[in-house]
A and B are shown apart, each in its own frame.
Chain A
């Protein structure tokens, strides 16, 4: 898999993948906004918008129209640009990429983005919240895939500097577990946001408890992983900054999660000793409520993306210290 230094390597797939990931993240944010503001049914048809072809819908009407329409149509426009960027990426990979499996991944990405688009359309045509939930689960998965492509096309991956670390196998394993848990946590969050209106209270309570419980499990994983990496592999650049970013995002996410609870369900009675309840009620659909909740959703995907990148780099860069060599923390040359 390793490419020799003399081989020609285009940087364009990497740049393109970065662009794709950078466009996908706002798309997730806007998608979260659609759910938060319940704008999913602002446009009744699909793939057209009120009879217009998606791209021909008069932009004046779109921009000056009601908020719901603005968000939903905007989500569709952004989504189609992500789709086209994915096609572009596939073309680039096809033409410049040596690794065959990378071409396959490009195909998978295109398939996933089409699937996601159709899922969104079906959600509208069937007016079915459960499809919206699947749609909300597939979005972060696609984002994670774009991050993976960024990683696979990065120099740190193609020209790796391996690091011999004691307990590398465990760290690699832990990093994968963290990424998987981060995705499961997103799924639970999607369940909470798309609960059927006739679900039973005890069922929802179970989902909330699972989400909060898994948040704790995930937080422990992230912290342990980050500490291990900081102690044993701080000199490996992507592992160093990604683990710091992951902890930072975790802290942000915990604050956002608690804020989401407060703006949605009020300060719980047991917490009033520390947080005084608001003497004025939160405004439903107000700026604070809308954006705190949506940010919680979006940062969840960001955590997933970071965890996936970290897991991939861990697999690629960490090797066990050879049994004969007792000295840990030794940087090895990557001459293979």
Chain B
């Protein structure tokens, strides 16, 4: 008797609850971009359908041959969390990643707002810690390293306890979410730039659209990922300092690095500050936060535009006035949809330069990791490249100079803070 009523209560509860949260959450569009580009509802649906046809769903991902993605690895990482009898893990992404990075890889999982830095949004395909030139995609090895080591000083943990094939599957899935996100941006861009609001956009019936999306839009994205392995920055043999060096050599290198740090050539001091505590230029944004910041700024600009239109309306008559009234209504509608979107945005945060005295190196603590950070900069952030922008291009610093900076960075946690600061040339210290 008791157990029957319990069953009843539980089933009713289960049904009620199932109606609330989705057991197989779908991919979502980047609504900030959709609103910013004022994409019509029909086109939003068309883009969602195209992405569904090209990439599938979070439960059943598709590796379109043109993407070069591995269907088997994607299947390992996708879908709901469960384990089989042999202990094989399924739904790896939803087990380990989704709570921060979100189902669509937008970096807006449930925990995102309380984390600093925010979880990475994979969709622009920009990754900070990698071995390639600034504009290149990361190699799969770079992403594997980030998963294996985690990112010290952030909420990104190390997944060193996972077997290599699970890490590999997760990396493939991250690449999948990136390619999908880049494809989404390309589609949204195309629709906003090229199509009238009521133009049809359906690759199922139109071969020209098939050609467009696979060749013109997807092609360059895949090419960039496939080309990553040829974009790796390789230090010249002659310039790499040997592991075992006399103390005098290290001291000389550190001294030269210090000169560069404060000098007008490398200019590290401008952002990392004269004490290297990261207290220099602190007002810039990284790419991801800047997108939100720009969206908010542009929304506020709409107000002044509406004001300006109203002033014109006061002076206008006849057809012109009618036209202006229409424009005001349009601008107000856009302002409305934008301000609703702002409520869902993660508040933009400034990119704060790294405190180099903590001895915490987010992209890895090996000399080569710091070499890559200095040489290619940190993509997506204000940190500029000081090495070449591409193979064979001239860099601002020579490789030897970059290694000197690496040595100086290593010495900074041990440099007494009271050490007389060299007044940086032509720089006033930014007061906080």
Answer whether A and B touch in the complex at a CB cut-off of 8 Å.
yes
Seen from chain A, the residues whose Cβ lies within 8 Å of a Cβ on chain B are 38-42, 44, 50, 65-69, 110-111, 114-115, 118-119, 122, 126-131, 134, 195-205, 208, 264-269, 272, 276-286, 289
Instruction: Quote the shortest CB–CB distance from A331 to chain B (angstroms).
Output: 44
User: Once the chains bind, are B83 and A198 in contact (CB under 8 Å)?
Assistant: no
Q: How far is the CA of A129 from the CA of B80 in the complex (A)?
A: 11
Chain B: minimal CB distance from A181 (Å): 23
A131 lies within 8 A of B110 (CB)? no
Q: When A114-B6, A281-B149 are in contact, do A205 and B113 touch as well, CB less than 8 Å?
A: yes
Instruction: Give complex CA distance A67, B346 in Å.
Output: 37
A68 to chain B, nearest CB (A): 4
The answer on a CB contact under 8 Å between B7 and A118 is yes
Do A276 and B358 touch (CB < 8 A)? yes
Check B87 against A65 for contact (C-beta < 8 Å).
yes
- Chain B, residues 1-41, CB within 8 Å of chain A (1/0): the string is 01100110111011001101111010000000000000000
With both chains docked as a complex, state the minimum distance between the C-beta of B98 and any C-beta of chain A, in angstroms.
5
For the complex of A and B, 7 pairs with smallest distance between CB atoms? A66-B87, A281-B150, A201-B113, A41-B82, A284-B157, A196-B21, A204-B110
The answer to whether B14 touches A131, judged by C-beta atoms less than 8 angstroms apart, is yes
Q: How far, in angstroms, from A107 to B360 measured CA to CA in the complex?
A: 57
Instruction: Flag the segment in B158-166, B195-203, B289-297, B326-334 that touches A.
Output: B158-166
B373 to chain A, nearest CB (A): 15
Q: Is the beta-carbon distance between B10 and A119 smaller than 8 angstroms?
A: yes
**Using Cβ atoms and an 8 Å threshold, which residues of chain B touch A201?**
108-114, 346
Q: Which residues of A contact B346 (CB under 8 A)?
A: 201
Shortest CB–CB separation between residue A291 and chain B, in angstroms? 14
* Chain A residue nearest to B90 in the complex (CB): A41
| A264–B100 alpha-carbon span in the complex (Å) | 11
**Pairwise interchain contact A128-B22, C-beta atoms closer than 8 A:** no
Given A131-B17, A197-B109, are A281 and B151 also a contact pair (CB < 8 Å)? Answer: yes
Considering residues A65, A67, A196, which has the most beta carbons from chain B within 10 angstroms of its beta carbon? A196
Closest beta carbon of chain B to A136's beta carbon, Å: 14
Question: Complex: how many Å from CA A44 to CA B84?
Answer: 8
Contact assessment for B115 and A265 in the assembled complex, using a CB-CB cutoff below 8 Å: yes
Distance from A88 Cβ to chain B, minimum over Cβ atoms (Å):
17
Given contacts A38-B81, A130-B21, contact A283 B2 (CB under 8 A): no
B158–A281 contact, CB under 8 A? yes
In the complex, the answer to whether B3 meets A118 with C-beta atoms within 8 Å is yes
A246 to B14, CA, bound (A): 35
A279, B361: Cβ atoms closer than 8 Å? yes
List B contacts of A42 (CB < 8 A): 82-83
Are the CB atoms of A208 and B158 closer together than 8 Å? no
> Considering the chains assembled together, what is the distance between the CA atoms of A228 and B22 in angstroms?
48
- Contacts A68-B87, A198-B22; A266 near B155 (Cβ below 8 A): yes
CB distance from A61 to the nearest CB of B (A): 9
- Excluding A114-B2, A199-B110, A205-B113, 16 further A-B contacts by CB distance (< 8 Å) are A38-B95, A118-B6, A122-B10, A126-B14, A127-B80, A134-B13, A134-B17, A198-B25, A200-B344, A204-B112, A204-B114, A268-B116, A269-B116, A277-B360, A281-B154, A286-B158
B348 at the interface (CB under 8 A from A): no
Within 8 A of A (CB), among B84-99: 85-87, 89, 94-96, 98-99
Binary interface profile of B, 130-162, with partner A (CB < 8 Å = 1, else 0)? 000000000000000000011111111111111
Give every chain A residue within 8 A of B152 (Cβ-Cβ). Answer: 277-281
Q: In the complex, A65 Cα to B83 Cα: how many Å?
A: 12
Q: Given A118-B3, A265-B114, A286-B161, A197 and B20 touching (CB < 8 A)?
A: no
A–B complex contacts, Cβ < 8 Å, 16 sampled: A40-B81, A128-B14, A131-B14, A195-B111, A196-B110, A199-B21, A199-B110, A201-B109, A201-B346, A202-B113, A204-B110, A205-B113, A205-B114, A278-B153, A281-B154, A284-B96
